[in-house]
Amino acid sequence: MTQATDLEIAAAAPADVALVLALIRELAEYENLAHEVVATDTALRHALFGPRPAAAALIARVGGEAAGFALYFHNFSTFLGKHGLYLEDVFVRPAFRGRGIGKSILVHLARLAVQRDCGRFEWAVLDWNKPARDFYETLGAEPNAAWINYRITGAALRRLAALDDHG
């Protein structure tokens, strides 16, 4: 593996919103989920830099060129009584893979989690993405098969929200 010696990882700035959205689209293409990307520059700008940011992003650059990104937010563990850092997405462009950039992004986020006294750092990975799973495990991450993720979206979410909550 050739290390990216001129790697810079920094917080995304408002001027990076279009770049972050482009990287999200590239990630979605890789995951065969491009049809699910409905985010817009406006929505992403509000989520990352609005009055109450919901998430934050990092940009990894090699020689000034965008090589990848991570998007993360804080969650909370009731059992630990502490915040956690949740990595929503991480992506390294194919031309930059194999240079330690993904590992550097995860190290950067782990340091951030430690600095912020987070009780854990976690993320999900698609079950078919064996290269990513193998990579994460080399860093000491462990799959958590004891939990099953659930998701409710679209019409089902609206139906649930419309239910009478009094019985």
User: Catalytic residue positions?
Assistant: 136
Give the span between the Cα atoms of 51 and 145, in whole angstroms. 37
Could you give the dihedral angle defined by the CA atoms of residues 135, 130, 71 and 77, in that order, rounded to the nearest 10 degrees? -80
The strands making up 121-123's β-sheet, listed across from edge to edge, are: 7-11, 56-62, 65-77, 82-92, 121-123
Plot region of 28 (φ>0 → left; ψ -120 to 50 → alpha; else → beta): alpha
Give the span between the Cα atoms of 90 and 92, in whole angstroms. 7
